[in-house]
Structure 1
Amino acid sequence: MESARPPPMLTSDEARALHIANGDIKRPGHLIALSATFFGIAATCVGLRLYARIALRRRVNVDDGFIVLALLFLVGSLVTYIQEENWGMGYHASTLTPNEIIHFFHAFWAMLWCYCGCLACVKLSLLFQYRKIFGNRASRFRIVANVLIIVIGLSGLWTVLSGVFICWPISYLWTRQGDGKCMQTWPLFIGNAVLNIITDLIVFLSPIPLLSRLHLPLRQKIILMAIFLTGFFVIIISCIRLGIFVRTNGATDFSWEQITLGSWSFVECAVAIVCASVPALKPLVVHIFPKLASTFASRTVDFEASGESHNKLKKINTDVETGPNGSVGLFAQGGEEEHKWLDHTERLKSVQGRVQIVTAVDTDVDKK
């Protein structure tokens, strides 16, 4: 139950002491500890991802750049939460001094666009990763991925800019002096939260039809789908956060409510980074545990570009030649000839003139 507003003659420190005595203060230190823990997990996953790409694959792609940018936004979020704690987060707004309110909203403003920027970069990273894995140049999925990149990019730009320019002039958010205007904050926050959930669903579900058509044993197919569907943890967190927004719609005790909203917002960003990095850790897992290679493998693989018969490589019965950096060139038999370079870490074996690709997913294929 929310405590009564302190008597107006009490100083800010005295009012806070009264709240503490009543046991109704939220502990901001818990948020900082929680945020630091999840940041450590996310940073570790990104570090392992970069090691797998640089040390094992010897290449860095656009999706890696976006995930690093997302991690930088997460660093910004952590800094803003620390600043919010310093300036009254977890205390009732009625106990804050005018100076504390100004500095609190400085940090809150920065948190808005750091949060939105982080999630937008995670989604773009996933889409570029999908396009690299599944998007042969003539495939329909490549077109779909390009459209989604534009849509997600524009929606992410909107959420970031709506956070930056939530008030005009920007300083009106914390000064409330002079002529200025602000958007209706709660409808904006709820609308952006709904938009975020919708785009999450689109991004995380988009590769599932392709995975279901892979020529893999059922067990391996289920494992791969489970890896890609880890993103539903993010959607669950987003729904919880949306529920908090709906519950607190119109609340004026901003510094009190921010401790809960801040916790879920930071966890959502950190978990999103982790989920986006899990598929990219496959080379590292196989490198450390070679026996697990078969988990990610297929016996014989068809590379299919949806609806394009001349882009199919059916049970390759062809010559093999060495390409740059120890890669292997495969020439398809029949139809229009195709040439693909597979990374030198891919495992190939020849059985009676047939080349079988053991590692089928995340091969980083580049067409020549």
Structure 2
Amino acid sequence: MDAASNPQNLTTSDLDVAAAVCINVAFLARNFYNLTTLDVIYTLAQFYLDNPNATNPEILRFTGARAADLDYLQNFVGGPDMIRDSIYWVAQISEYLPSTPGTGHILIPIFWVFSILTTFVLALRLWSRQTIAGGIMGYDWLIVVGYIMTLGYGSTALYHAMNINKTSQFWDYSWNEITLQQIFYITLDVLYPCTALVIKSSLLLFYYNLSPVRYLKWSVWGTFAFTLSTVIAAVGFSVFKCHPVNYWSEWFTSVCNTHQTIPYLVTGSCMILSDIIIWVMPLPMVFRLQLYRRERIAAIFTFSLGIFACIASGFRLSALHKYFLTSGGTGKTPIINAWTIVELNLAIICASAPALRALCIKHVPKLLSYGSGPSTPSVNERHNLNNVSGNQKVHGRIIVHHDHIGRMDLGSLQDSYSEKASNMSSSRSTPRVGSPV
């Protein structure tokens, strides 16, 4: 506390000590839970000036503190004189303590832009599934649940940023506000991994139904087990990192994990790893399909869009790391929430890309044309193979896109091909899904 002699040159350590004194003294003074922690310091500093020989019973009556809390704090800091000196020191340097507004305003455009964009994309996805894929499937409803949870996370984070996190320093909060902050922290910590699990489960279920290949199904189950384990670990640590869970009610006697950075970084890294696995998983299947080069590139690009969600997840983890390393009494929670909102919304948007691609093939085929000739969109129903929605004729041949082929279509494909082959002088190879026949 040497800064008292030259308080305008406060170091980061000085600011950390000032924040700790404000928080601990504010918790002790239960009669003043509605005052900012710095105002509590002023109040107690004046009390000690008026009562230099104040006894513990007098301190308890004035502050409303519990006897056990006062004894604990005195023993921890080295006696009642040290508490009084700490209060004097903070009061002396208070005019030099930084007071900056919160950064919650950054969430406003991010929340609204991504919420509107995701709502539009999800609506197109459901329309595509209903009109092209034969109906909305279970994994589509699952992504709707993830969308609702994403809106819930964004709304909670926005409310927290605009109505609670109004400043960046602890000495500008009352103890009641600090308590509310902690409740929001735990809520958002639990909501994020659960929302990510629902979105990833939707994608995994889509992959499971996409191909009968055994290795893909086993990969889906393995990835789901890994993701579920990571989420359980993340939620469990967030909730039970302190005992009791509502540690803000027992600030002095509660027991908390002193190495919280490592578990958060480990679970966050595992979440990113599961992201990468999920977005890479269908690519080997795409490479095995016999497609035109342009169609193969389009399919790979469609499934690879999830890399943007992985990048956002990486930025979120970096912000989380910086938050735990942040000092000087300043927090950066809105930055973490901003990247979380971006990550969850991008995951939903990227997961909807295959459905949007199918919609473009049907309604705007020229945007996704494959082949050397002009495309002629079909006007008949999808179940008529020779007039599949979005098919193209190139030099008299039908190009069937794998997006539109269902199991019933394969039989029709074979019958149609056999009939044509019987009238040709030379034999041809077996037709390929997604290639000219």
Structure 1 letter corresponding to 2:159: Q
- Structure 2 residue 276 is the aligned partner of structure 1 residue 201: yes
Structure 2 letter corresponding to 1:360: H
Equivalent residue for 1:215, pick from 285, 290, 296: 290
Equivalent residue for 2:172, pick from 84, 95, 106: 95
- Structure 2 residue 159 is the aligned partner of structure 1 residue 83: yes
SS at match of 2:305: helix
RMSD: 3.9
Higher helix share: 2
Looking at structure 2, the residues matched to 197 and 328 of structure 1 have their Cα atoms a distance apart, in angstroms, of 43
Structure 2 letter corresponding to 1:201: I
Q: Where does 1:72-151 land on structure 2 (aligned, <5 Å)?
A: 72-85=148-161, 86-88=163-165, 90-133=167-210, 135-136=211-212, 139-151=214-226
1:287 match: 362
Looking at structure 2, the residues matched to 165 and 359 of structure 1 have their Cα atoms a distance apart, in angstroms, of 51
1:290, distance to aligned residue in structure 2 (A)? 3.0
Distance 1:31 1:13, change over 3 A: farther
Structure 2 letter corresponding to 1:38: F
2:143 match: 67
1:228 match: 303
**Contact 2:111/2:341, CA 8 A, preserved across alignment:** yes
1:105, distance to aligned residue in structure 2 (A)? 1.8
1:264 match: 339
Mind listing any 5+ residue stretches in structure 1 that lack a counterpart?
Answer: 300-324, 331-342
- Under a length normalisation based on structure 2, what TM-score does the superposition of the two structures give? 0.63
- Structure 2 residue 401 is the aligned partner of structure 1 residue 359: yes
Looking at structure 1, the residues matched to 372 and 186 of structure 2 have their Cα atoms a distance apart, in angstroms, of 49
Query: Cα deviations across residues 148-183 of structure 1 (Å, max 9, x unaligned)?
Result: 2333333334334444444444323x4335865444
Structure 2 letter corresponding to 1:96: Y
1:12 match: 36
Query: Cα deviations across residues 70-108 of structure 1 (Å, max 9, x unaligned)?
Result: 112112112221331211254212211111111122222
Distance 1:244 1:30, change over 3 A: closer
Higher strand share: 1
**Contact 1:132/1:365, CA 8 A, preserved across alignment:** no
Greater mean deviation of Cα atoms: 58-67 or 150-159: 150-159
1:63, distance to aligned residue in structure 2 (A)? 1.8
Looking at structure 2, the residues matched to 348 and 143 of structure 1 have their Cα atoms a distance apart, in angstroms, of 35
1:113, distance to aligned residue in structure 2 (A)? 1.8
SS at match of 1:127: helix
Structure with the greater alpha carbon radius of gyration: 2
Structure 2 letter corresponding to 1:245: L
Structure 2 letter corresponding to 1:208: L
SS at match of 2:135: coil
Distance 1:110 1:226, change over 3 A: same
Looking at structure 2, the residues matched to 222 and 126 of structure 1 have their Cα atoms a distance apart, in angstroms, of 21
2:261 match: 186
1:340 match: none
**Contact 2:38/2:171, CA 8 A, preserved across alignment:** no
Structure 2 letter corresponding to 1:190: L
**Contact 1:90/1:257, CA 8 A, preserved across alignment:** no
1:203, distance to aligned residue in structure 2 (A)? 0.9
Looking at structure 1, the residues matched to 37 and 329 of structure 2 have their Cα atoms a distance apart, in angstroms, of 18
1:56, distance to aligned residue in structure 2 (A)? 3.5
**Contact 1:233/1:271, CA 8 A, preserved across alignment:** yes
**Contact 2:114/2:342, CA 8 A, preserved across alignment:** yes
Structure 1 letter corresponding to 2:400: V
Structure 1 letter corresponding to 2:153: S
Distance 1:156 1:281, change over 3 A: farther
Mind listing any 5+ residue stretches in structure 2 that lack a counterpart?
Answer: 1-10, 26-34, 40-93, 374-380, 412-437
1:44 match: 120
1:326, distance to aligned residue in structure 2 (A)? 7.1
- Under a length normalisation based on structure 1, what TM-score does the superposition of the two structures give? 0.73
Query: Cα deviations across residues 2-47 of structure 1 (Å, max 9, x unaligned)?
Result: 79569979x63998xx99x968334312213322221221222112
Distance 1:125 1:215, change over 3 A: same
Equivalent residue for 2:250, pick from 176, 201, 219: 176
Distance 1:293 1:223, change over 3 A: closer
